[in-house]
A = this chain, B = another copy of it.
Amino acid sequence: MDKTIGFIGLGNMGAPMARNLLRAGYKLRVYNRTSAKAQALADEGAEVVATLRDVVEPGGIVVSMVANDHALDEVVLGENGIGEVLGAGGIHVSMSTVSPQIAQKLTTYYRRQDAIYLAAPVFGRPEAAAAKMLWICLAGDAGAKERVRPVLKALGQQIFDFGEKPEAANVVKLAGNFLMGAAIEAMAEAFTFAEQNGVAREAVADVVSQTFLACPLYQNFGKAIAARHYQPAGFKLSLGLKDMNLLTDVAATSLTPMPLGDLLHERLLSAMAKGRADMDWTALAMGASEDAGR
């Protein structure tokens, strides 16, 4: 069993995840681009290393949770990147929301040196990460998946397996985020429709979230959108745009017309242009309100 894990990326998601690994008894070597964030982890027992590649134990496991495709590329192939040192038998578990394209690229890269790339993007916000309640979308080599399973169990409540091709997990993750955004826009329009016709936004939210849409997304987001509470951000609008940029790119590459995907994209671009980058991404709902003169 693996006792030491390399961990890269201590942002809002990465930090609580690393903490859960420490609590599960793992020894951690952590790296963060800005070292201040790493210090808090050091106080809880993590070994903070100076350069990216120092997190690696050859043939071991490295988990990364970084901002985007570019950051992930740098982690592997950039200066002091782990790509050259991960070594035969090593596994890179990439938990960020990134494109299927980079998953394919890194899978091919690692394979040439007998290392393995696993995609394991997650559903859940920082609170869920802290509470080990993440839902993990896992894909890649079967043996490697088996080996990292105990690590992932220390991070989330459930693991969904999408087969041997890592990029499949990224596709599912993007589709899932799209479904969230679609629900936000749908509620925004439904509640505004009610309001314009003299009915309280909450009236619609209440009935559907107790009946055919009785699930966390409509219940939690529904309450916030009905009350127009778009701050503080659980998931920043700028990150929501990053994900929908990925979605529309992958949709274009794969010749998939997505009119609802495009609508979400427009809402997010508009919200960014209006200075709402740091609001929660449910603030895309403000578009429907403003269009109706509210």
Residue A274 is within 8 A (CB to CB) of chain B in the complex: yes
Task: Verify A258–B193 contact, CB threshold 8 A.
Answer: yes
Whether the pair A212, B216 counts as a contact (CB closer than 8 A) is yes
- Partner among B186, B215, B258 whose Cβ is within 8 Å of the Cβ of A189: B258
Q: Given the complex, which residues of B lie within 8 Å of A196, measured CB to CB? A: 251, 254-256
In the complex, the chain B residue whose C-beta lies closest to that of A241 is B252
A224 within 8 A of B: no
Interface positions, chain A 237-270, Cβ under 8 Å from B, are: 245, 247-248, 250-252, 254-263, 265-267, 269-270
Please tell me the size bucket of the interface on A.
35 or more
| CB of A123 within 8 Å of the partner chain | yes
Contact indicator per residue, chain A 57-79, by CB within 8 Å of chain B (1) or not (0): 00000000000000000000000
Q: Is residue A194 contacting chain B, with contact meaning CB distance below 8 A?
A: yes
What separation, in Å, do the CA atoms of A273 and B158 have in the docked complex? 36
Tell whether, in the assembled complex, residue A292 and residue B265 are in contact, meaning their CB atoms are under 8 Å apart: no
In the bound assembly, the distance between CA atoms of A147 and B206 in angstroms comes to: 24
Q: Which of B160, B168, B204, B266 is the one whose CB lies under 8 Å from A172? A: B204
Residue of B nearest to A165 (CB): B198
Binds B, one of A7-15, A30-38, A106-114, A173-181: A173-181
The verdict on A273 contacting B260 (CB below 8 Å), with A171-B199, A183-B183, A204-B176 known, is no
- Please indicate the chain B residues that have their CB under 8 angstroms from the CB of A293 in the complex: 255, 270, 273-275
A contacts, CB < 8 Å to B? 100, 123, 135, 137, 158, 160, 162, 165, 167-168, 171-172, 174-176, 178-180, 182-183, 185-187, 189-194, 196-199, 203-204, 206-208, 210-218, 245, 247-248, 250-252, 254-263, 265-267, 269-270, 272-275, 287-288, 290-293
Of the A-B pairs whose beta carbons lie under 8 Å apart in the complex, a sample of 29, sorted by A's number, is A135-B207, A160-B210, A172-B203, A175-B193, A175-B194, A176-B204, A176-B212, A178-B189, A178-B190, A179-B186, A179-B208, A182-B186, A189-B260, A192-B256, A193-B261, A196-B251, A197-B250, A197-B254, A248-B252, A255-B293, A256-B269, A256-B273, A256-B292, A257-B265, A257-B270, A257-B288, A262-B262, A262-B265, A287-B291
